[in-house]
């Protein structure tokens, strides 16, 4: 073999090896492609899940902070309800005649109590506390507490008397209203004569004179 042929063989051998390596890499990549695609899909799904969980956590934290601010006055508002009740009782105890004939000093005292009651309810309303006076409304167990059931011309289940008003703080019941609920109209008593006839034995009123 000549020197030129030997040199040509030596120069062609590395190129052949490179081609073989490239083909082997391509074949391996083709074989691994499904696995890589599956791994990529799993990674993407995990990223979406983590992002969704982070967003839910952010929303939950924001909601808890808003609720904490909104209901921070719960304890104080509940304590002030006794003050509101006492003011209402004091005003209810003053008759119209006493108002009409009250002295200047007593009239000023009554006006002061009324103004205090109004100012208190304005302050409560400013902090989200609303009064419940459900007379004429359908009984709602979430906001009302039934302490009596009485016959009435009102439909059964309707609030016919408010014994103690209730209060809401936002959408929560701060204190349920104590109410009396209608049981419907009382049964009409039967006429005594009609009742005696209805209680008679069958056939006892049949005319046998024919």
Please give the pLDDT value at position 69.
78
| DSSP code at position 138 | B
Tokens for 209, please give them.
């004179």
What interhelical angle do 104-126 and 74-92 show, nearest 10? Answer: 150
Q: What is the pLDDT of residue 184?
A: 82
pLDDT of residue 191: 57
**Residue 160, helix vs strand vs coil:** strand
What pLDDT, on the 0 to 100 scale, is given for residue 210? 41
Taking only the tens of pLDDT, the chain with its 210 residues reads: 555 555 554 555 555 555 555 565 555 556 666 777 788 888 888 888 888 888 888 888 888 787 777 788 888 999 999 999 999 999 999 888 888 888 888 889 999 999 999 999 999 999 999 999 999 999 999 999 999 999 989 999 999 999 999 999 988 999 999 999 999 876 666 555 655 555 555 444 544 444
178 forms beta bridges with 145, 164
Side-by-side strand order, sheet with 172-175 = 129-132, 166-169, 172-175
Q: How far apart are CA 193 and CA 181, in angstroms?
A: 34
Q: Is the Cα dihedral 177, 178, 180, 182 positive or negative? A: positive
């Amino acid at each position: 073999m000549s020197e030129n042929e030997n040199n040509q063989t030596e120069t062609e051998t590395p190129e052949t090896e490179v081609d073989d390596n490239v083909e082997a890499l391509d074949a391996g990549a083709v074989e691994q492609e499904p696995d890589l695609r599956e791994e990529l899909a799993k990674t993407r799904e995990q990223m979406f899940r983590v992002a969704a969980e982070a967003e839910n956590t952010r929303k939950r934290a924001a909601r808890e902070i808003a609720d904490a601010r909104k209901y921070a006055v719960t304890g104080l508002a509940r304590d002030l309800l006794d003050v509101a009740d006492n003011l209402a009782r004091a005003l209810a105890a003053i008759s119209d005649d006493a108002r009409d004939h009250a002295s200047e000093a007593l009239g000023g005292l009554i006006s002061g109590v009324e103004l205090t009651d109004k100012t208190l309810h304005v302050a409560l309303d400013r902090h989200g506390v609303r009064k419940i006076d459900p007379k004429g409304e359908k009984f709602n167990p979430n906001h009302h507490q039934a302490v009596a059931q009485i016959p009435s011309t009102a439909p059964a289940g309707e609030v016919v008397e408010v014994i103690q008003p209730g209060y809401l703080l936002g959408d929560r019941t701060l204190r349920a209203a104590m109410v009396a609920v209608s049981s419907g109209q009382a049964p009409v008593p039967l006429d005594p004569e009609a009742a005696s006839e209805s209680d008679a034995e069958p056939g006892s009123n049949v005319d046998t004179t024919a």
